[in-house]
Amino acid sequence: MIRFEQVVKTFPDGTTAVDHLSLEAPTGKITVLVGPSGCGKTTSLRMINRMIDPTGGRILIDDQDVMDVDAPKLRRGIGYVIQHAGLFPHRTVADNVATVPLLLGTPKAEAKERAHEVLELVGLPGDFADRYPAQLSGGQQQRVGVARALAADPPVMLMDEPFSAVDPVVRDQLQDEFLRLQSELGKTIVFVTHDIDEAIKLGDQVAVMRVGGKLAQLAEPAYLLAHPIDDFVSDFIGRDRGYRALSFTESPRLPLAPEPSVALGATVDEARAATGDDWLLVVADGRPQGWIEPERITAPIEQGMLHRGGTVATEHGPLRAALDAALSSPSRRGVIVDDDGKLLGTVRAHQVLSAIERADRPEVHEEDIAPTESVGEAAP
């Protein structure tokens, strides 16, 4: 657990970057610090591994004041990932990843072996190990950055906008993989971002900070979306928060209607016989592939003929996915599948909305007037 106790950072020029910050980052969880630029989130992060020393208050890692530990030694026990990865351009990928084990005195062969293991873990196959960072794409460099931070298996990881310099598709992919990794590794993570969507997607708890280095609200993402504490937080969370909050509500049993379907390769006559509707679902091996309009086709169904606009939701997935499946489907019937991706049936938007109306919203914490008080509840 990382604990900030009334931490203050005033720079020599008199600006206060962090103003009496108190919060806890519970063990094994992701705590996201989010806020506009100038809110002191990065400064707060860097005080944990003493890249910056606080001018007041204390930061404790498992009850040990970080100021009592020799800085380089402290840092070797804390993984650190930054925006542009900051890889050493003069070292191969494997040597980059082996950096901290080597600093800790691990024998060279062992460190190299460890590097290969971790690279595998972040999805970079063996032949990347001997390349230089300049030979990798931005997304791949960022994976190496994560691997390097994980190499010495530190219990704590600090991440400073690690995914904000890559394109949105890659970012989404990296975020998903990061969550998968974290579910396996269970590190204590402090994650800084200016992107509230990223904060809500990744955080077990989210600390919204305001300019001047004050904590505005600390809460779980679903709670934050449902009950922003003031105008600053609600403005910062932005629009669509009602819709986005549905990401955290698991679908109840939805009233699924059986959906007629044909397999890929079906003839025109088979397709027209299967449904009286304008739109017909095409499956392969039981898995939905896309929609076609039977009246418009003139040849057996191929992949290239499919309308792919519709999204697919899983049975017990979030309500947001179910609603989106209905809204995005050309037939207005949202496709629902089981955990293996096999077709279960379809649901209509109004049915999802009824389910939403019946779903619970997170209840307001009574003590939420003083945000620092809710810290204890988020701790495990």
Partner 1 sequence: MKTLDLSYVSDNWSDIVHRAWQHAVLAGLPLLIGLAIALPLGWWARRSTRLRPFLIGGAGLLYTIPSLALLIVMPVILGTKILSPWNVIVAMTLYTLALLVRTVADGLSAVPGDVEQAATAMGYTPVKRFFGVDLPLAIPVIAGGLRVAAVSNVSIVSVASLLGVSQLGYYITNGYQRSYSIEVWVGIIGCLVLALLFDLIIQLVSRALTPWLRVRGAS
Question: Could you give the 3-state DSSP secondary structure of residue 56?
Answer: strand
Residue placing its CB nearer to partner 1 in the complex, 78 or 322: 78
Question: Least Å distance between CB 311 and partner 1?
Answer: 31
- DSSP line for 90-157: TS-HHHHHTHHHHHTT--HHHHHHHHHHHHHHTT--GGGTTS-GGGS-HHHHHHHHHHHHHTT--SEE
> What is the rounded (10 degree) CA torsion for 112, 114, 118, 123?
50
Using the rule CB under 8 A, is 80 a contact of partner 1? yes
CA distance 50 to 44: 10
Question: Least Å distance between CB 91 and partner 1?
Answer: 8
* Site map (CB under 8 A) of partner 1, residues 140-169, x = contact: --------x---------x-----------
Residue placing its CB nearer to partner 1 in the complex, 89 or 258: 89
Using the rule CB under 8 A, is 358 a contact of partner 1? no
Residue 238: exposed, middle, or buried by beta-carbon count in 10 A (0-12, 13-18, 19+)? exposed
CA distance 258 to 251: 18
Using the rule CB under 8 A, is 180 a contact of partner 1? no
Residue type, position 140, single letter = Q
CA distance 313 to 336: 5
Using the rule CB under 8 A, is 100 a contact of partner 1? yes
Candidate segments 132-140, 193-201, 254-262, 351-359, binder of partner 1 by CB under 8 A: 132-140
Residue pair 112/106 in contact by the 8 Å Cβ criterion: no
CA distance 231 to 34: 16
Candidate segments 133-141, 209-217, 231-239, 320-328, binder of partner 1 by CB under 8 A: 133-141
Residue placing its CB nearer to partner 1 in the complex, 27 or 92: 92
Residue placing its CB nearer to partner 1 in the complex, 187 or 320: 187
CA distance 289 to 55: 59
Q: Which of 13, 105, 125, 134: binder of partner 1 (CB under 8 A)? A: 134
* First-to-last C-alpha distance (Å) of the chain: 10
Would you tell me how many other CB atoms lie within 10 Å of the CB of residue 350? 10
Q: Which of 82, 225, 237, 336: binder of partner 1 (CB under 8 A)? A: 82
* Site map (CB under 8 A) of partner 1, residues 101-120, x = contact: --x-----------------
Using the rule CB under 8 A, is 89 a contact of partner 1? yes
Window 1 to 40, contacts with partner 1 (CB under 8 A): none
Q: Which of 63, 90, 253, 370: binder of partner 1 (CB under 8 A)? A: 90
Q: Which of 3, 9, 41, 76: binder of partner 1 (CB under 8 A)? A: 76
Candidate segments 134-142, 216-224, 262-270, 342-350, binder of partner 1 by CB under 8 A: 134-142
Using the rule CB under 8 A, is 86 a contact of partner 1? yes
Residue type, position 218, single letter = L
CA distance 263 to 292: 11
Tell me the C-alpha to C-alpha distance, in Å, between residue 4 and each of 12, 58, 59.
22, 6, 5
* Residue listed under structure tokens 């904590």: 215
Using the rule CB under 8 A, is 131 a contact of partner 1? yes
Q: Which of 15, 64, 135, 303: binder of partner 1 (CB under 8 A)? A: 135
Residues within the interface to partner 1 (CB under 8 A): 49, 51, 72-78, 80, 82-91, 99-100, 103, 131-132, 134-137, 148, 158
